[in-house]
């Protein structure tokens, strides 16, 4: 692949920030063309952006050239207070986008969120306050202010001014409009906002006050919401009906014939910088996708891919009922989108790097997401035989699969299947979305394992379950404990069954298995061979080589656990039966 650089003289953010002395770094950044400066800032992390912008002699021009989404993501990542210099210099459209995203809770305006951003505007100074009043979409502005204040006027038919203002709020700036503050937290900031407005533009102040008094709240709010939705849709944030199509299934025979990017006739932009932030989040880590993106140095191509990734993540976000303003959720959605795309890319390219690069250049990332998601759905379908095997236990609330099989199956049972990360992960991070074909294959192996073991234990061995409904089921009832309990009965009594082991039978079994005068390794091998002989001689049908390998692994693990419990139980001079967690023992005879 020929790597190209379409921006004149770019400097990496890291190189610039690593320069000793801010004056030297400032000169180096100033030596770049405006396009190169913008490129450098866009390819920086949000925290690096803030530092780079502080080096600019005239930051306002560059800040206003940032895509609205990029400015918003920078503020969300770094924090509102630290980004006040950016907010102060932002364009009206950039500010409108921020508030379009931040101020709504579903189709209602949030007074708490409005207050937060009103306070930020106040800190930005008079010019920003006036710009907001004059440039912000009017219905939205009035609807937002109605959440913070109510406005009242004296009765016109009363000649006595003193009487006409009785019962009105005490706050007024002109003796005409009397204002009640609905939220105590917003009062100080709103006082500054209103005083600034009336001193700079009295006519607009009066128009806004009249609109707050007489504007029909429901109609005005509806219009504001509709206009907000249209603006967000123009930014690639879809409505729910459009968004949920992201999860459509694509059959294997259809995957190679999905529309290509070239089919749309869309021309790539050579001058307009768009968005790198999604690539920063989704293109990092150990994904195959990350390796592919790292091999692409055509900045226009990366912008196109980042724009594609943003479109996918926005659909996922809306379809999953998350909000763009929750930045942690948004980053999770970016990572999820990149992970599912990665699965589709790995599958279609066969893991070939050069082929994958061509695929990214030729295919819409949304189609790769469809393919990746279809692979996840196909994995989910494979748990049906496993669930059928264990359906007798479901009414009892019993989860008999050993860890991590049980957790892996539980993850796949979700409406949108999840990957089980392991018990070592934090409770909130034990499950996440699938990110790679390796994870798909790992869970697929676990599903096959669970099906194989369950089939041979429950079906082929024809274990007899004595009075299931009346048995004292405990947390330790798993496939391993069911199998080992059955093995004890088979060894002592000649039949596979699952019922509590009487203590005399337990002693007979332990003497037969563990009292051999051999070293522990030889003894363990002998027990495993004896157990597998008992299994194979009892099966109605011969195991396939693949099943035999899986079942042998299961037996080995289960018997090692039992051996460890035996060592613990015999550590003292007596047999501590409580140590046997993998056997279902009748302790009432103890």
Judge if 288 and 336 occupy the same domain: yes
**Bond into 518 cis (ω within 30):** no
Q: Is residue 76 situated within a structural domain?
A: no
For residues 540-558, average pLDDT: 90
pLDDT at 273: 47
Q: 476 and 567, same structural domain?
A: yes
Environment class of residue 174 by beta-carbon count within 10 Å: exposed (0-12), middle (13-18) or buried (19+)? Answer: exposed
Angle in degrees, CA 138, 141, 142, rounded to 5 = 85
**253 and 337 part of one domain:** yes
Does the pLDDT of residue 520 top 70, yes or no? yes
Residue span of the structural domain in which 191 resides: 103-234
Confidence of residue 160 (pLDDT cuts 50, 70, 90): low
pLDDT value at residue 476: 63
Average pLDDT, the chain: 86
490-494, 554-558, 586-590: range with lowest mean pLDDT: 586-590
Residue 389 and residue 387: Cα distance in Å, rounded?
A: 5
pLDDT tens digits for range 456-470: 887 666 655 554 444
pLDDT tier, 222 (very low <50, low <70, confident <90, very high otherwise): very high
Residue 41 lies in a domain: no
Q: Please report whether residue 446 resides in a domain.
A: yes
Q: Which residue, of 367, 399, 425, is where some domain finishes?
A: 367
Per-residue confidence (pLDDT) for residue 75, from 0 to 100: 96
| Both structure tokens of 74 | 């920078």
Tell me the percentage of the chain whose pLDDT exceeds 70: 85
DSSP, residue by residue, 527-546: HHHHHHHHHHHH-SSPPPHH
Instruction: Tell me what the mean pLDDT of segment 220-241 comes to.
Output: 90
- Same domain, yes or no, for 201 and 253? no
DSSP 103: S
Residues 257 and 358 in one domain: yes
User: Is residue 275 predicted with pLDDT exceeding 80?
Assistant: no
Token look-up 């396939």 returns 544
pLDDT over 60 at 472, yes or no: no
Let me know whether 478 and 358 are in one domain. Answer: no
Report the SS3 class of residue 585: strand
What percentage of the chain has pLDDT greater than the value 90? 52
Cβ pair 203, 209 in contact under 8 A: no
Q: Among residues 202, 234, 266, which one ends one of the domains?
A: 234
User: Confidence band (pLDDT; 50, 70, 90) for 538?
Assistant: confident
Question: 3-state class of 167 per DSSP?
Answer: coil
Question: What integer pLDDT is reported at residue 26 of this predicted model?
Answer: 86
For the segment 21-32, the average pLDDT, to the nearest whole number, is 83
Q: Are residues 487 and 545 in the same domain?
A: yes
Give the C-alpha distances (Å, rounded to integers) separating 17 from 22, 24, 406.
Answer: 8, 10, 49
Residue 300's pLDDT band (cuts 50, 70, 90): confident
Instruction: Determine, yes or no, domain membership for 397.
Output: yes
Assess if residue 72 is contained within a domain.
no
Lowest average pLDDT, out of 95-109, 337-351, 368-382, 575-589, goes to 575-589
- Note whether 402 and 511 are same-domain residues: no
Number of domains in the chain: 4
Confidence (pLDDT) at 402: 80
Domain boundary (216, 234, 252) is at 234
- The pLDDT, as a whole number, for residue 2 is 39
Distance, CA of 253 to CA of 432 (rounded, Å): 29
Closest by CA to 309, choosing from 301, 321, 320, is 301
Q: Is 488 part of any domain?
A: yes
At residue 272 the predicted structure's pLDDT band, cuts being 50, 70 and 90, is very low
Q: Is residue 24 part of a domain?
A: no
**pLDDT tens digit string along 393-404?**
554 445 678 888
358 and 267 part of one domain: yes
- Average pLDDT on 402-431 reads 85
DSSP state of 458: I
Task: Write down the pLDDT at residue 575.
Answer: 87
Tokens of 143: 């609807």
Residue 270, pLDDT score? 43
Query: Is there a domain that residue 74 lies in?
Result: no
Average of pLDDT values for 150-174? 78
473 and 583 fall within a common domain:
yes
| Domain co-membership, 192 together with 256 | no
Q: What does the pLDDT read at residue 1? A: 40
CA dist., res. 53 & res. 402, Å (int)? 55
DSSP H/E element including 105: strand 104-105
Tokens of 435: 């990110």
Which residues are registered as beta bridge partners of 151?
Answer: 179
| Residue 362 and residue 439 in one domain | no
């Amino acid at each position: 692949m020929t790597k190209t650089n379409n921006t004149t003289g770019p400097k990496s953010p890291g190189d610039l920030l690593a320069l000793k002395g801010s004056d030297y770094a400032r000169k180096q950044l100033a030596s770049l063309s405006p396009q190169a400066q913008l490129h450098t800032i866009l390819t920086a992390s949000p925290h690096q952006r803030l530092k780079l912008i502080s080096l600019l002699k005239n930051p306002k021009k560059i800040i206003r050239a940032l895509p609205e989404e990029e400015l918003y993501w920078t503020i969300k990542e770094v924090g509102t207070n630290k980004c006040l210099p950016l907010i102060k210099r932002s364009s009206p459209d950039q500010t409108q986008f921020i508030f379009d995203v931040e101020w709504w809770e579903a189709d209602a305006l949030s007074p708490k969120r409005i207050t937060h951003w009103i306070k930020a505007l106040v800190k930005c100074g008079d010019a920003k306050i006036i710009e907001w009043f004059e440039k912000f979409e009017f219905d939205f502005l009035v609807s937002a202010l109605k959440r913070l204040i109510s406005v009242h006027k004296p009765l016109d038919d009363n000649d006595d001014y003193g009487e006409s203002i009785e019962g009105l709020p005490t706050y007024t700036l002109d003796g005409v409009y009397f204002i009640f503050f609905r939220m105590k937290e917003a009062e100080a900031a709103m006082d500054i906002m209103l005083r600034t407005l009336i001193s700079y533009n009295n006519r607009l102040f009066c128009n806004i006050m009249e609109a707050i008094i007489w504007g029909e709240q429901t109609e005005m709010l509806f219009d504001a919401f509709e206009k907000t939705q249209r603006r967000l849709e123009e930014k690639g944030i879809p409505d729910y009906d459009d968004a949920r199509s992201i999860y459509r299934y694509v059959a294997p025979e259809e995957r190679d014939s999905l529309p290509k990017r070239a089919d749309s006739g869309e021309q790539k932009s050579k001058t307009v910088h768009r968005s790198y932030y999604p690539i920063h989040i989704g293109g990092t880590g150990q994904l195959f996708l990350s390796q592919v993106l790292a091999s692409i140095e055509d900045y226009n191509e990366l912008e196109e891919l980042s724009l594609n990734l943003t479109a996918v993540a926005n659909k996922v976000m809306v379809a999953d009922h998350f909000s763009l303003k929750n930045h942690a959720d948004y980053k999770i959605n970016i990572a999820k989108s990149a992970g599912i795309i990665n699965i589709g890319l790995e599958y279609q390219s066969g893991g070939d790097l050069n082929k994958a690069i061509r695929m990214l250049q030729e295919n819409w990332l949304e189609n790769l997401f469809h393919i990746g998601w279809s692979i996840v759905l196909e994995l989910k379908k494979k748990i049906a035989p496993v669930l059928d095997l264990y359906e007798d236990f479901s009414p009892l609330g019993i989860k008999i699969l050993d860890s991590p099989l049980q957790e892996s199956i539980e993850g796949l049972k979700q409406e949108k299947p999840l990957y089980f990360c392991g018990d070592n992960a934090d409770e909130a991070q034990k499950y996440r979305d699938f990110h790679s074909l390796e994870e798909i294959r790992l869970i697929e192996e676990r599903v096959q394992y669970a099906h194989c073991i369950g089939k041979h234990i429950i079906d082929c061995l024809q274990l007899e379950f004595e009075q299931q409904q009346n048995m004292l089921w405990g947390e330790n009832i798993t496939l391993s404990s069911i199998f080992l309990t059955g093995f004890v009965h088979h060894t002592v009594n000649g039949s596979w069954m699952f019922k509590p082991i009487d203590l005399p039978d337990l002693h007979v079994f332990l003497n037969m298995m563990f009292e051999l005068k051999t070293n522990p390794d030889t003894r363990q091998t002998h027990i495993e061979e004896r157990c597998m002989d008992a299994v194979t001689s009892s099966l109605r049908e011969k195991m396939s080589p693949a099943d035999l390998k899986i079942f042998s692994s299961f037996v080995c693990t289960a018997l090692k656990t039992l051996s460890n419990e035996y060592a613990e139980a015999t550590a003292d001079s007596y047999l501590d039966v409580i140590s046997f967690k993998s056997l279902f023992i009748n302790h009432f005879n103890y």
